[in-house]
Structure 1
């Protein structure tokens, strides 16, 4: 960051013309009127990412890439691409004498790889992360060359060995991708590790599990409830963040688990499905709704936040949640994650957002804000000596691994005492655990879900190793202290 000249670094923003923006200094964000004009002229949709250069100007060419090439990509894909590109252009600016991405060379990319993966002063990212970043930047430069924005791709290519070449066309792939990052190692957290990370990182407890008077984190209860919901449902970050108050089921007596419907409009690949939620977590969600969420809404009403929203969508009757768009009544369940940000409910107490998860300003939270919550929790755990680290998708993996292990264990126990015909009946009624988890995760194919089997096999091997008899040598005696006869007797045992 060029603080001496007053120039800011590269930044990523997401279009939100219709939302009430927080009042920030002019150095943080271009003026709303100028920015809205640029966004309208370049047909940038609400929720789309765009990059601001070090002089506070939107980069038109990168904006065109998201507007044309990635316009129908899932929000998570667009967000990941935006941050991958930002890290690359920021490196060029700060470490290559303020070089533009249009002038980047293969030497710049080699320097970037060294700094990004092995330099002790750099982040030293894993190879899987590096390979993804290479793919993102490579696709961007392929598009930029096709649209005459650059002449040379700084990512060197080699002939692909895995793709069938088309007639007269040489298939290429990035030569600098490591191809060594393991795709089978699923990072997940056992329940005890998760609770320790949550209590210290999100709730603000000490490493000993006691209340920490020095903790100053806001919305601690909300953050812990959000995290609990994710690890107990397996929802994706974008799916959970887009939930509205209308998706939250009422608490019913006598139940341990309740379910709600996740609409296809906010589910990846339109994978609408039932989501099963433990009543203990559902009770915490309702506590958040009636306490912290209600206080944030009251504060926002007092300062006129909702009146400043441009072109909101209003739900007049919360018993029949629909809005009017261009004269047509549209049910809440058909609104996507960007449209839901604009929905307000008209209540006797005043306007309030339909979104479930609100920030302290009373406005709907965004996936990027939750990423920061997790990063802050990880930093706090690090300061207090807690070794656990977590990110949102890790909780989804944890749900999958733990649920599969429990289902398979129960499945095997039930089948063990049945004959052939009984097993067939049981399979038809209760189905396959793998397919059940596939539906809960919203995977299109069970092939995607099968990656968790590798983790279960590793768990099985770890369990077996723990069961290996500990009689190789007498307890408390080092082999060097035994004579040959004693060693022979120990081996025989």
Structure 2
């Protein structure tokens, strides 16, 4: 079995050269309302494997995000191949087959997956498939009952990984920006676009946006008055399509403008001819209404108008405008081909950055790097923690001033200036419960451990074993408070 994904632009581009009998593929996609990104499982005869392909069409009709369907597809393909190895398929699978698959993923394979995060998501996908099979009448009984029935049954607290200033600057300038730790330009850097990379991570840090959010930003969304900030509405590219306002300070905008001047213009010039050959599969914008946040132009031969907030990443990727030198992508961060960089491209850039950081970690004064490579999401955690700490300090100072004046705080003021609620809105969390997870990281508890033991070690050179004994003895004596 092979896995493919529907790409309407490719079908339209090559419709004239498709074999006889396949020339109606474009009209078929239109008639069946097949969306881009829908997975299709094909067998050795290059025909859709059922009922798997029908399940993906069902998910597509429900409006599932293409990235979500892609992750589902790889889980289902892996399961189908495992069942085929056991002489089964999804219609004949038994409880024992699925338990064997669980054991394979968690224990037998060379690199077992994480039981709390990866397996629980995978189990939910498999459960969704068998639930649909039973509902559609393909099977009488579903082998799986509940999403956590075969998962770990555990919950995992949010793992917050944040950077201190020195670590962030090392990541931005040395890893992503191609500099040496002493600030000099590294002539061996082969990253290609250091200004683009530095601007991207600065935008991620200073806005708290997720990778899919900041990597798909369009130029009109970052428009501003000279030297001022910018702001736009985020929705379609946000997690779960949750709408929120994004505030962009002047700092990252300055870096974006530097990148646009020094690198982006060159990318646009080199790629104009290539984009011209793809003209009919692109959304060619001829009108930008920044006040209403709308773009108007031609897509697929039809006049279309879109609210930028509601434009998904796939549409943003093919959004261009006609410039003096030809077609130009309206995405901020471009790749060699002149279109928006893909998620896999950004991951490759990050891996190369980590390798550079490891190579320079012992340069001069050693910098403490974590064992695991940095993620772009660590910048979101850093934004949340820094903002939460700063707001908490401001609120404490304000309350102290009010106490000195013996003035009361209204309920509306208390809610409007609640640090957790402000950070929740900035991050786009559905519930403050998620934001509460950051409270545990406002101060590193190991700092208190080091401080507690420092006096012992400084005074008499006590070892940790001796410290433990003295603590235990003191506890028995009732002297520990």
Distance (whole Å) between structure 1 residues aligned to residue 10 and residue 437 of structure 2? 40
1:415 corresponds to which of 371, 374, 399: 399
1:401 corresponds to which of 362, 368, 385: 385
Q: Does the CA contact (< 8 Å) of 1:322 and 1:330 recur in 2?
A: yes
* CA deviation string 1:26-76 (max 9, x = no partner): xxxxxx979767755653213x3415557576656444334323545563x
1:308 corresponds to which of 243, 256, 278: 278
What is the aligned partner in structure 2 of residue 138 from structure 1? 127
SS at match of 2:284: strand
Q: C-alpha displacement at 1:271, in angstroms?
A: 4.3
Q: Does the CA contact (< 8 Å) of 2:195 and 2:258 recur in 1?
A: no
Q: Does the CA contact (< 8 Å) of 1:378 and 1:388 recur in 2?
A: no
Q: Does the CA contact (< 8 Å) of 1:229 and 1:277 recur in 2?
A: yes
Map 1:42-121 → 2, pairs under 5 A: 42-46=32-36, 48-53=37-42, 61-69=51-59, 71-73=61-63, 75=65, 78-90=66-78, 93=81, 97=85, 100-102=89-91, 104-118=93-107, 121=110
The CA RMSD measured in Å over matched residues stands at 4.4
Q: Quick check: 225-234 or 261-270, which moved more? A: 261-270
Q: C-alpha displacement at 1:245, in angstroms?
A: 0.9
SS at match of 1:450: helix
Q: Does the CA contact (< 8 Å) of 1:317 and 1:346 recur in 2?
A: no
What is the aligned partner in structure 2 of residue 339 from structure 1? 315
Distance 1:467 1:443, change over 3 A: same
Distance 1:120 1:145, change over 3 A: closer
Q: How many residues align?
A: 448
TM-score calculated relative to the size of structure 1? 0.74
Q: C-alpha displacement at 1:440, in angstroms?
A: 1.1
What is the aligned partner in structure 2 of residue 297 from structure 1? 268
Unaligned runs of 5+ in 1: 1-8, 24-31, 158-171
What is the aligned partner in structure 1 of residue 375 from structure 2? 391
Is residue 348 of structure 1 aligned with residue 300 of structure 2? no
Distance (whole Å) between structure 2 residues aligned to residue 379 and residue 177 of structure 1? 35
SS at match of 2:452: coil
Q: Does the CA contact (< 8 Å) of 1:19 and 1:310 recur in 2?
A: no
Distance (whole Å) between structure 2 residues aligned to residue 107 and residue 81 of structure 1? 26
1:465 corresponds to which of 430, 443, 449: 449
Distance (whole Å) between structure 1 residues aligned to residue 104 and residue 356 of structure 2? 26
Q: Does the CA contact (< 8 Å) of 1:272 and 1:442 recur in 2?
A: yes
Distance 1:294 1:37, change over 3 A: farther
What is the aligned partner in structure 2 of residue 444 from structure 1? 430
Q: Does the CA contact (< 8 Å) of 1:358 and 1:364 recur in 2?
A: yes
* CA deviation string 1:317-336 (max 9, x = no partner): 45666315755655545544
Map 1:42-441 → 2, pairs under 5 A: 42-46=32-36, 48-53=37-42, 61-69=51-59, 71-73=61-63, 75=65, 78-90=66-78, 93=81, 97=85, 100-102=89-91, 104-118=93-107, 121-122=110-111, 124-125=113-114, 127-149=116-138, 153=142, 155=144, 157=145, 172-199=146-173, 201-204=175-178, 213-250=187-224, 252-253=226-227, 258-268=229-239, 271-303=242-274, 305-318=275-288, 322-324=295-297, 329-330=305-306, 332-375=308-351, 377=353, 387-419=371-403, 420-421=406-407, 423-424=409-410, 427=413, 431-441=417-427
What is the aligned partner in structure 2 of residue 160 from structure 1? none
Distance 1:430 1:53, change over 3 A: same
Distance (whole Å) between structure 1 residues aligned to residue 166 and residue 215 of structure 2? 25
Distance (whole Å) between structure 2 residues aligned to residue 186 and residue 481 of structure 1? 33
Distance (whole Å) between structure 2 residues aligned to residue 378 and residue 51 of structure 1? 35
Distance 1:364 1:173, change over 3 A: closer
Higher normalized helix content (fraction of residues): 2
Q: Quick check: 79-88 or 319-328, which moved more? A: 319-328
Distance 1:435 1:112, change over 3 A: same
Distance (whole Å) between structure 1 residues aligned to residue 322 and residue 339 of structure 2? 15
Q: Does the CA contact (< 8 Å) of 1:128 and 1:183 recur in 2?
A: no
Distance 1:231 1:153, change over 3 A: farther
Q: Does the CA contact (< 8 Å) of 1:116 and 1:125 recur in 2?
A: no
Q: Does the CA contact (< 8 Å) of 1:219 and 1:360 recur in 2?
A: no
SS at match of 2:247: strand
Distance (whole Å) between structure 1 residues aligned to residue 349 and residue 63 of structure 2? 25
Distance 1:176 1:98, change over 3 A: closer
